[in-house]
Amino acid sequence: MNKPTILIIDDEPQIRRLLEINFVSNGYLVRQAASGKEGLLLAANLIPDIIVLDLGLPDIKGHEVLKVLREWYTKPILILSVQSNENDIIDALDQGANDYLTKPFRVGELMARIRSASRNKTTDETTQILEAGNIEIDLVGRVVKFKGEVLKLTATEYSLLVMLVKNEGKVLTHQFLLKEIWGMSFQAETQYLRVFIAQLRKKIEENPNHPQLIITESGIGYRFQQST
Amino acid sequence: MNKPTILIIDDEPQIRRLLEINFVSNGYLVRQAASGKEGLLLAANLIPDIIVLDLGLPDIKGHEVLKVLREWYTKPILILSVQSNENDIIDALDQGANDYLTKPFRVGELMARIRSASRNKTTDETTQILEAGNIEIDLVGRVVKFKGEVLKLTATEYSLLVMLVKNEGKVLTHQFLLKEIWGMSFQAETQYLRVFIAQLRKKIEENPNHPQLIITESGIGYRFQQST
DNA sequence: GAAATATATAAAGATTTTATAAAGACAATC
DNA sequence: GATTGTCTTTATAAAATCTTTATATATTTC
């Protein structure tokens, strides 16, 4: 799942930095513009998921930026401004802003308003599904189907299978798999891997003695391949 | 074109009158409720296009009203409150409020925020009945029927079942369920979940020892699936 | 091909997680 | 203020999962 992108259009570097730190730590991808012109350009190129716009820009009037943006941009726009003048607020909202916060603002509230604004947009719940032959993995639902039937897997088996299928065709080394699934300190426990690979094979191979899907690369690791 | 309906839930008559005058003169149809209970009832009957909710109600906590409304109501909810405490604002927004204004508010701004909220109109019709196999949930009436019979559930059992059925087929993690039903600060109380899952199973599973509907995903969470 | 190394698998042991009952705490209602 | 229903907490049994051990089988190396 890709991180949502936020575009900050604000001329004050301190504000930009403050926002950046908070957005990044909340899992957003952040891009910044220091002027209206730059902001419009970046918005058109990036098509961010949210725009945070300061009305007090040096070059173009903030209201103007908002108006131009709204000619094509349909995702949430949140206004930040020192102006607490009612008419400014009304104008911005009527020009298509989704929300309006006056500086100084509280960061927690801003984050909550961002969440609220972007909530409506994400209605199309991305059902990400991995497919490989008879196997179907619903990553969002965390459900694996084998030949159409729900396959019961433990947490570790699931992680291992997802890792293998995601890297279909590639050889994954013992070390890599152990590090990714069990953690850094388990890189020597190759036997764990053998046990769990055997369990997976019992569940998804026609004939576990002659595996067609999870291939052993002796001395190196394992590789998942589509059944032929 | 029909006028959009606004439901005002507020115990202060002066505020209600002030809002009514302004909404009516802006072309809205206005209905009023003086308590949380009345508000919930009216909302269920009218299905208004917007709800303006005061958090400082005498009978039920405003946050509770919001939570119950959001179980089925998908249109804009705008909060009015004397509370300018940041946590109240964050909580309300995260519980699904679309906007939050602190009293005293400016009428013009309120009207603009109402316009803004109703602009991104959610086209999806509010689904009011959930069905899954033998289970039928009337979200508006908060009534669950099992094999046609009304099933008696406590508030918590109800919320949990709704969450599971709404996400049929997906695994819901312990953390997610605890956060959604008990709140942010209960994310460690896995035992609550176990107790309530057991109670639900006693009520809806043919054989609670071998659950067919509420499936345990050990170490992860629970998943609701249609009986096959 | 034989020795060394690596892998597969079952099964026992250890640990974690889950299910359930039941007691205590709490709040609402009459 | 007793009663009732619900939620929270505690205790314990049961189940599921993970780890370890043992041994057979396969693969690589020389």
pLDDT in the model for residue B125 = 62
- Backbone phi and psi for residue B97, each to the nearest 5 degrees, phi listed first: -70, 145
pLDDT tens, position by position, A72-81: 999 999 999 9
Contact yes or no for B116 and A97 at CB 8 A:
yes
pLDDT tens, position by position, A196-224: 999 999 999 988 788 899 999 999 999 99
pLDDT in the model for residue A173 = 95
Structure tokens at B188: 């460690």
Is the Cβ atom of B182 within 7 Å of strand D at any atom?
Answer: yes
Is cis: bond before B13, omega within 30 of 0? no
Contact yes or no for B225 and A150 at CB 8 A:
yes
Is the Cβ atom of B198 within 7 Å of strand C at any atom?
Answer: yes
Structure tokens at A118: 């972007």
pLDDT in the model for residue B37 = 85
Is the Cβ atom of B190 within 7 Å of strand C at any atom?
Answer: yes
For B21-33, give one letter per residue: b (16+ CB within 10 A) or e.
ebbeeeebebbbb
Contact B59, B155 (CB under 8 A): no
Please name the residue that has the structure tokens 């005061």. B54
Mean pLDDT over A180-194 rounds to: 92
For chain A, the maximum distance between any two Cα atoms, rounded to a whole number of angstroms, is 75
Q: Give the contacts of A92 (CB within 8 A, at least 6 positions apart).
A: A55, A62, A63, A66, A79, A81, A100
Whether chain A has a CB inside 8 Å of the CB on B95: the answer is no
Contact B139, B131 (CB under 8 A): no
Numbered ranges of CATH 3.40.50.2300 in chain B: 5-119
Numbered ranges of CATH 1.10.10.10 in chain A: 129-224
Question: Radius of gyration of chain B from Cα atoms?
Answer: 19
Q: For the whole model, what pTM was predicted?
A: 0.84
Tell whether domain A129-224 is in CATH 1.10.10.10: yes
* Whole-number Å distance between alpha carbons of A224 and A170: 7
Residue A60 reports pLDDT greater than 80: no
B215: nearest nucleotide, CA–C1' criterion: C18
- Fold classification of A5-119 is Rossmann fold (3.40.50)
Give the distance from residue A19's alpha carbon to the nearest chain B alpha carbon, in angstroms: 17
Confidence category of residue B126, pLDDT binned at 50, 70, 90: low
Is cis: bond before B104, omega within 30 of 0? yes
Q: What is the DSSP string of B54-72?
A: ES--SSS-HHHHHHHHTTT
* Whole-number Å distance between alpha carbons of B211 and B223: 11
pLDDT tens, position by position, B10-55: 988 999 999 999 999 999 999 999 888 889 889 988 889 999 999 8
Which class for B39: exposed (0-12), middle (13-18), buried (19 or more C-beta within 10 A)? Answer: buried
Confidence category of residue B84, pLDDT binned at 50, 70, 90: confident
